[in-house]
Amino acid sequence: MKNLKFCFLIVFLYVSFENLAQVRFMSGSWQEVLNEAQRQNKIIMVDFYTTWCGPCKLMTKTTFANPRVGDFAETHFVAFKVDCEKGEGIQLAQKYEVFSYPTIAFFDKNGNLLGKEIGYKNVEDFLEIMENYRKKFTK
């Protein structure tokens, strides 16, 4: 019985720490994301994806799951995921001319597009991209 409790504890801690390490994408509407970015005075990072996109899935599984990426994003950005084939995502993808997946777009706290990064990015490349946006657009 003690071994079983110990195993559950290990699994619980592993899952808990793993979830803390990854990028935590805000749920809700675009307006709620804008409100949160203004409240926190942060840049918005949006992952425009589709459910069938292999590179999108790989980026979620590797890059966005990396603890360094998660910590950096949590500190400097409001992160948001947009399914470009559902709900509000369809209009957002059209408005910001997203035609390739994944597209990671960066916006100021008022929703002005700062730039887009298209295609899969590994951990090191994505950390550099985030750092460049942070340096260039954070005052």
Q: What is the CATH number of the domain that holds 94?
A: 3.40.30.10
| Residue 138 confidence (pLDDT) | 82
Q: Are 120 and 62 in contact, with CB atoms under 8 Å apart?
A: no
The pLDDT, as a whole number, for residue 95 is 97
Residue 78 has pLDDT above 70, yes or no: yes
Is residue 110 a contact partner of residue 34, using CB atoms and an 8 Å limit? yes
Instruction: Give 83-138 pLDDT, tens digit per residue.
Output: 999 999 999 999 999 999 999 999 999 999 999 999 999 999 999 999 999 999 88
Q: Is 2 inside a domain boundary?
A: no
Look up the pTM and report it. Answer: 0.84
Residues marked as catalytic: 53, 56
**Residue 89 maps to a domain:** yes
Q: Is residue 14 part of a domain?
A: no
Q: What is the pLDDT of residues 33-70, one digit of tens each?
A: 999 999 999 999 999 999 999 999 999 999 999 999 99
d(CA 47, CA 83): 8
Domain count, the chain: 1
Which domain, by its residues, includes 123?
Answer: 23-137
